[in-house]
Chain A
Amino acid sequence: AQSVTQPDIHITVSEGASLELRCNYSYGATPYLFWYVQSPGQGLQLLLKYFSGDTLVQGIKGFEAEFKRSQSSFNLRKPSVHWSDAAEYFCAVGALGSTLGRLYFGRGTQLTVWP
């Protein structure tokens, strides 16, 4: 069965520190992977996506993620966090070839940034 695990419910980092948010997935088909960010009371914004090719993908706002097939992981990273990065982050997985394009979401990781 398909599933996405974000093991960290809440992460706190100091502004300027590096960040890594973990995401593990379980999917029977060839996956495509996403990271979305949600600010309070808002919809989700796409940070980055991986379909194929280079396993290190760059996204908006200085974020990057690395796909590791052997570990079924797609961790999100940022070298230096800004206070405006405080938000909820969701990892999602879908299947290439899926006609409907349904995504499966993790439960989210809440990021708090200390000044």
Chain B
Amino acid sequence: GAVVSQHPSWVICKSGTSVKIECRSLDFQATTMFWYRQFPKQSLMLMATSNEGSKATYEQGVEKDKFLINHASLTLSTLTVTSAHPEDSSFYICSARPEVAYEQYFGPGTRLTVT
């Protein structure tokens, strides 16, 4: 149980285009979903926290207009990287927290490369 999927697993896009990443909790309902960014050999950097049906809470320094987060249902959250630039290339990981739990379950991650 407690499986989280992410799609796509990797994506290459051109500079200036937008990319959408989906995060789904497959066998549980997630009150809260989280989006992280991870640089090589580094820890996870929390980008934003989203609750179903409400606006996401962004961490300081994360551009809300660039990283659009939508939490449309208790099993789906999406991250859209708008007007992507090469510096947005990174490994993006989502996680989901079940309604009656404190732990987070992570997706497998999405490797974004902007050329």
Query: Chain A residues in contact with chain B, CB under 8 A?
Result: 32, 34, 36, 41-46, 49, 51, 90, 94, 96, 98, 100-103, 105-108, 110
Asked if B102 and A32 sit within 8 Å, CB to CB, the answer is yes
Q: In whole Å, how far is A25's beta carbon from the nearest beta carbon of chain B?
A: 14
Which residue of chain A is the closest to B34 with respect to CB atoms? A102
Given A43-B6, A43-B109, 8 further pairs, Cβ under 8 A = A32-B102, A34-B103, A43-B95, A44-B44, A46-B103, A49-B102, A51-B102, A100-B57
Known interface pairs A105-B44, A107-B43; A43-B102 also in contact (CB < 8 Å): no
Among B32, B43, B44, B106, the residue within 8 A (CB) of A45 is: B106
Chain B binding surface SS class: strand
Known interface pairs A41-B111, A101-B32; A90-B103 also in contact (CB < 8 Å): no
Chain A binding surface SS class: loop
- On chain A, the residues within 8 Å of B60 by CB distance are none
Known interface pairs A41-B111, A100-B32, A100-B57; A105-B106 also in contact (CB < 8 Å): no
Asked if A101 and B104 sit within 8 Å, CB to CB, the answer is yes
Q: What is the size, in residues, of chain B's interface with A at 8 Å between Cβ atoms?
A: 27
Which residue of chain A is the closest to B109 with respect to CB atoms? A43
Q: In whole Å, how far is A42's beta carbon from the nearest beta carbon of chain B?
A: 6
| In the bound complex, CA of A34 to CA of B49 (Å) | 19
Asked if B102 and A94 sit within 8 Å, CB to CB, the answer is yes
Sampled A-B contacts (15; CB under 8 Å): A36-B106, A43-B4, A44-B44, A44-B95, A44-B106, A90-B43, A94-B102, A96-B102, A101-B102, A102-B34, A102-B46, A107-B42, A107-B43, A108-B43, A110-B41
